[in-house]
Amino acid sequence: MADTSLGSSASAVSARPELSIHNGIVTTTSVQVAQFFGKRHDNVLRAIRVLLREGASADYLLNFEEVIMDFTNGKGGVQSGTAYRMTREGFMLLAMGFTGKEALRWKLAFIAAFNRMEAELQKPAYDPARIQLAHSLAAQAAAQVTQTVFDAIASGRDSDWRRARYLLSFGYDRDGQPTIPQAQVVGDDQMVTSLNALIQHITKHDVIPSDAQLAALVTACAQQLSERAQVRELRAAPQPSAAPASTSTSTAVAAPVSPRLGHDGKPLPPDTFRAVFV
């Protein structure tokens, strides 16, 4: 195979390597490496084959793929020959053996090219229907926000709207179709947070409730814990055996109510129990 070389200087080629995508992976070729690093292509092939012989696993070999490519030979003609297509990992393994200030320049140029191409791959595919839906929901959300702010200001309560916070929410109906976005005012005593985050906020004094609010919160939590403990005790207690039938008159005893049923007799949500007091 004819050699491919641009001599010791790579200034004749672009300082921005153009990589390609194969099977969803960004790759470069041994031909490009030879051109940009100013090396003979046969020497690049030899270096790759040494890496392949030293590779111990199949995953290592997947970084290089032998292909047939058309390239310009040293006489200005075009011919086909063996080359290698390589991934970012393959390029890094190969380029580790290249030294010098010029080699460092091209290593950085190739890494930047890989980063650009991989960033492009991460972008979502263009979907006209999704774009149209996004525009529609954005317009509806803007209308909701406009109406909410207008109502707040028009109400005349200056002390309210000047410090108001607004919550914008999106949702779906039972058929999976997006509903009209909703904008609502978040009150001064309202928070939008998770339970875990609320605990952290209180611990770090990011939230400073009053003594009465803290006491009410503690009472509610203690009551919930107590009810859960009683439910667990009832579930663990052995069930009494059925009493033998008797002709004597006795007082009727109501059947126990399942802790999985609410006061209205309807099933409670999963993993939720109602405390039963007897």
Q: Where are the alpha helices (DSSP H) in the chain?
A: 30-36, 41-54, 58-61, 88-95, 101-122, 128-154, 158-161, 195-203, 211-236
* Structural contact between residues 69 and 29, judged by C-beta atoms closer than 8 angstroms: yes
Looking only at the bridges linking them, the beta strands covering 78-86 and 165-169 are: unpaired
pLDDT: which is higher, 26 or 263: 26
Question: Tens digit of pLDDT for each residue in 144-203?
Answer: 888 888 887 787 666 666 667 778 888 878 777 888 888 877 777 777 778 888 888 888
pTM of the predicted model, to two decimals?
0.42
Question: Tens digit of pLDDT for each residue in 231-262?
Answer: 988 888 887 765 555 444 444 444 444 555 66
Mean pLDDT value of segment 82-100: 91
CA distances from 138 to 132, 178, 185, 186, 262 (A): 10, 12, 19, 20, 41
pLDDT: which is higher, 32 or 156: 32
User: How high does pLDDT run on average in the chain?
Assistant: 77
Q: What is the pLDDT confidence band of residue 214, given thresholds at 50, 70 and 90?
A: confident
* Structural contact between residues 230 and 276, judged by C-beta atoms closer than 8 angstroms: yes
Report how far residue 228's alpha carbon sits from residue 276's, in angstroms, rounded to the nearest whole number: 10
Alpha carbon 148 to chain centroid, angstroms: 32
**In the prediction, which pLDDT does 256 show?**
46
Report how far residue 69's alpha carbon sits from residue 92's, in angstroms, rounded to the nearest whole number: 22
Determine what percent of the chain is predicted with pLDDT higher than 90: 18
pLDDT: which is higher, 33 or 276: 33
CA distances from 133 to 42, 124, 139, 148, 239 (A): 54, 15, 10, 22, 57
**In the prediction, which pLDDT does 145 show?**
83
